[in-house]
């Protein structure tokens, strides 16, 4: 930074990027953080930009897959991103009308999953949509989506298919919400630089853009809490 004669550095990214930014801040480097990750798992901000776009992409995919699930009477397992947190799976699953949502913050047994699918079929529901975050806690050498699909088909004899959305979630046209949020974050970051208020990350709390210490943003991941997950499961089935 001295060689390039930089006055300040604005770090834009998720937990890894901002973790490095926090270490640089502790070395008195003039740095400001902007939260950008589709996982929405940074502490101290309600939303990171990129998350809303990813949720919309996954929701659209669920809508498209729903057509095949219903017309072919299949169980469709959709694996989405989320190694440590289930925000994408939870929001997109709810928006897309998923019948089960499996996230890293909860533990599941094969029997529990199979039983839920069986009960739906017994009530006359001939298809099911299961949204699975990649970090959902079922131990296997297979991908989690493939594991769930095999278990459901073996345990119920219902034809099951798996779709792994992968990096489709990380690209595409940003939503209006993300565009506006990114712009607001950018303006707030420049204001911090202008004021010399370094070692901070801009964040969205309610509808206000505020600054919080970088250390607070990266000291732990923001995970889906039990109360929110319980509320979401009321709509399953």
Surface-to-core class of residue 110, CB atoms within 10 Å of its CB (0-12 exposed, 13-18 middle, 19+ buried): middle
Length of the chain in terms of residues written: 237
Q: Decide the pairing of beta strands 128-133 and 160-164.
A: unpaired
The shares of helix, strand and coil residues in the chain, as percent rounded to the nearest 5, are 45, 20, 35
Distance between CA 88 and CA 114 in Å, rounded?
A: 23
Give me the DSSP letters along 207-226: TEEEEEEHHHHHSSB----H
Q: Pick the catalytic residue: 7, 16, 39, 126? A: 39
Is 99 a catalytic site residue?
Answer: no
Cα(224)–Cα(217) distance, rounded to whole angstroms? Answer: 16
Closest C-alpha among 26, 85, 47 to residue 213: 26
The residues that are catalytic are: 39
């Amino acid at each position: 930074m001295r060689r390039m004669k930089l006055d300040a550095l604005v770090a834009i990214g998720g937990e890894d990027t901002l973790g490095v930014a926090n270490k640089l801040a502790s070395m008195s480097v003039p740095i400001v953080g902007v939260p950008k990750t589709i996982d929405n798992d940074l502490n101290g901000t309600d939303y990171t930009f990129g998350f809303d776009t990813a949720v919309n992409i996954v929701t659209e995919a669920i809508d498209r897959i729903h057509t095949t699930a219903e017309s072919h009477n299949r169980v469709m397992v959709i694996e989405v991103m989320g190694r440590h947190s289930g925000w994408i799976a939870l929001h997109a699953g709810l928006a897309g009308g998923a019948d089960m949502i499996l996230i890293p913050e909860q533990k599941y047994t094969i029997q529990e999953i199979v039983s839920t699918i069986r009960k739906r079929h017994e009530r006359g529901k001939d298809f099911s949509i299961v949204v699975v975050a990649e970090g959902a806690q079922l131990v296997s050498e297979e991908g989690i989506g493939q594991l769930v699909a095999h278990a459901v088909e073996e345990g119920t004899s219902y034809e099951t298919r798996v779709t792994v959305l992968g990096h489709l979630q990380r690209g595409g046209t940003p939503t209006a919400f993300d565009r506006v949020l990114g712009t607001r974050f950018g303006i707030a970051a420049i204001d911090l630089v202008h004021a010399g208020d370094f070692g901070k990350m801009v964040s969205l709390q309610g509808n206000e853009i505020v600054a919080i210490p970088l250390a607070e943003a990266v000291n732990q991941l923001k995970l889906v809490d039990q109360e929110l997950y319980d509320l979401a499961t009321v709509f399953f089935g």
